[in-house]
């Protein structure tokens, strides 16, 4: 075969339009047809002056540039701007000609730092969700909740130890009220604000304590603090340590999606905030927007008495996984300690009774054995290693809700629903990190990272909406074409009897 040398026609002049250069099945064509971007003007109208100042870059162009960044997983705005300069499809999406100058990346950065705030991003996020709902694609009977960590833009070697106040639990008042009711029902004195959790009265001191009230108050405040590792670079991130993962500063996106994988809500926290702590904010926003939710599907990290109580009291169902009890290594199995509801006691593996002792501030009833009986027990080493030979078993006052979760866990309907986590919320996180560059964030500060995550999830929703609408339109066109062909055939070539 002869070698044919091709001429380089780089300077050739052709008359073309931008629209003809973009393929018909390109993703941006589908996105452009899926929603009306003029709606964005309503959300940014108050952020611009109507009759004063120099003309600005069209806000839709700025937001579309960020949409391009998130849709195609481009890591930075600088890279996005340079890609738009040479990509015809990107220029078509923005409405720019082949030689028109693209806005500088710093213009976009400035707009999202000083003009567009979290309210603007939330408006865009919920607008896309409303478009999905209008198209009939949302399925919110069951929602899937989980969290994923995002590596922060912070050097792990630049850290300090800091003391921060322990955050009060959102349900602390409700729990304290029920604890006091439970104590009164058992003939115990209810806790006061400054009472000690121990039931026994304080022993008289041998010497007079001359410590001033000011010092005592300061010591009490110090006792309510905890020591954490903080980043010098990004103080709002949190140290993330889990299993074999490398220690790193991170943020966590606590997210909820529906059965079709559309993201309904997300809450960003520092990486050292547990899933169960951030649940209340996500659940509150979720149920406010979608009161029709019937089932909440979550992993065992959310299997706590408070979360179970909150969901079941709202006439909803918590579908979760098995959670291994924290028992002594080499000891008796947890299920060998049986709770007798009628007599309100625990029966141990040797059929001895552990009677009610007290209810502590954390909401746990304490059941204690008789030391005189335990001294001579043959299996005491498998039960307790305490010096006073007394076994203590705790049971939460909301334990009935956890047992309700266990009953539901064996139901075929909810077993099948839990298996869909890998197709829904886990796939959302996998796509976000592999396809949309959410493995690490270039931004610092909780506010900026929150806006970045919500915009990314909004773009993921928009992408899925565009693809689904495109498929439905092709199916509808095929059905119409088939109908016309069938009618033509039956009229011109009638079937013989």
- Cβ atoms within 10 A of the Cβ of 143, count? 26
Residue 59 CA to residue 43 CA, distance in Å, equals: 10
Give the pLDDT mean for 380-406: 91
Q: Largest alpha-carbon pair distance within the chain?
A: 115
Query: The tokens of 116 are what?
Result: 């567009």
Helix axes 59-71, 77-86, angle to 10 degrees: 100
pTM to 2 decimal places: 0.85
Residue 322 CA to residue 310 CA, distance in Å, equals: 19
Residue 145 CA to residue 279 CA, distance in Å, equals: 9
Answer whether residue 325 shows pLDDT above 60: yes
77 in Cβ contact with 448 (< 8 Å): no
Give percent above pLDDT 90 in the chain.
68
pLDDT tens digits, 305-314 = 999 999 999 9
**Phi/psi of residue 98, each to 5°?**
-65, -30
pLDDT band at 495 (very low <50, low <70, confident <90, very high): low
Helix axes 59-71, 446-492, angle to 10 degrees: 80
Instruction: Tell me what pLDDT residue 492 has.
Output: 63
Q: How far is CA 404 from CA 303, 311, 413, in A?
A: 11, 11, 15
- Cβ atoms within 10 A of the Cβ of 253, count? 27
Residue 187, by phi and psi: left (phi above 0), alpha (psi -120 to 50) or beta?
left
């Amino acid at each position: 075969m002869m070698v044919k040398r091709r001429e380089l026609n780089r300077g050739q002049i052709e008359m073309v339009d931008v629209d003809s250069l973009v393929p018909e099945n390109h993703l941006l064509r589908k996105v452009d047809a899926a929603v009306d971007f003029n709606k964005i003007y309503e959300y940014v109208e108050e952020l611009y002056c109507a009759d004063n100042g120099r003309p600005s870059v069209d806000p839709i162009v700025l937001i579309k540039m960020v949409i391009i960044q998130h849709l195609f997983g481009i890591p930075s705005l600088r890279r996005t701007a340079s890609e738009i300069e040479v990509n015809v499809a990107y220029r078509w999406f923005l409405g720019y000609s082949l030689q028109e100058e693209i806005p500088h990346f710093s213009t976009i950065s400035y707009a999202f730092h000083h003009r567009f705030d979290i309210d603007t991003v939330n408006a865009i996020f919920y607008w896309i969700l409303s478009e999905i709902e209008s198209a009939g694609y949302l399925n919110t009977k069951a929602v899937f909740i989980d969290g994923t960590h995002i590596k922060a833009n912070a050097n792990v070697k630049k850290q300090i130890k800091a003391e921060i106040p322990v955050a009060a639990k959102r349900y602390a008042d409700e729990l304290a009220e029920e604890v006091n009711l439970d104590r009164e029902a058992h003939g115990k004195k209810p806790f006061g604000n400054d009472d000690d959790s121990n039931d026994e009265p304080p022993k008289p001191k041998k010497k007079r304590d001359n410590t001033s009230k000011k010092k005592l108050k300061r010591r009490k405040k110090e006792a309510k603090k905890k020591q954490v590792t903080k980043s010098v670079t990004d103080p709002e991130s949190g140290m993330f340590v889990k299993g074999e993962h490398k220690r790193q500063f991170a943020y966590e996106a606590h997210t909820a999606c529906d059965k079709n994988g559309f993201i309904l809500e997300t809450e960003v926290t520092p990486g050292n905030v547990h899933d169960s702590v951030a649940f209340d904010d996500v659940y509150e926003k979720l149920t406010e927007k979608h009161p029709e939710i019937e089932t909440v599907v979550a992993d065992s990290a959310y299997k706590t008495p408070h979360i179970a109580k909150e969901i079941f009291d709202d006439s909803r169902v918590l579908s979760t996984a098995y959670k291994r009890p924290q028992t002594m290594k080499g000891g008796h199995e947890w299920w060998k300690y049986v709770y007798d509801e009628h007599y309100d006691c625990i029966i141990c593996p040797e059929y001895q009774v552990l009677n009610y002792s007290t209810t502590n501030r954390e909401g746990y009833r304490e059941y204690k054995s008789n030391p005189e009986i335990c001294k001579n027990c043959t299996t005491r080493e498998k039960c307790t290693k305490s010096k006073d030979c007394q076994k203590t078993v705790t049971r939460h006052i909301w334990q009935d809700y956890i047992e309700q979760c266990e009953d539901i866990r064996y139901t075929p309907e909810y077993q099948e629903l839990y298996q869909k986590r890998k197709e829904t919320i886990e796939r959302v996180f996998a796509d976000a990190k592999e396809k949309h560059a959410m493995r690490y964030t270039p931004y610092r500060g909780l506010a900026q990272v929150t806006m970045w995550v919500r915009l990314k999830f909004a773009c993921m929703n928009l992408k899925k909406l565009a693809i689904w609408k495109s498929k439905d339109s092709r199916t509808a066109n095929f059905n119409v074409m088939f109908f016309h062909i069938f009618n033509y055939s039956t009229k011109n070539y009638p079937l013989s009897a």
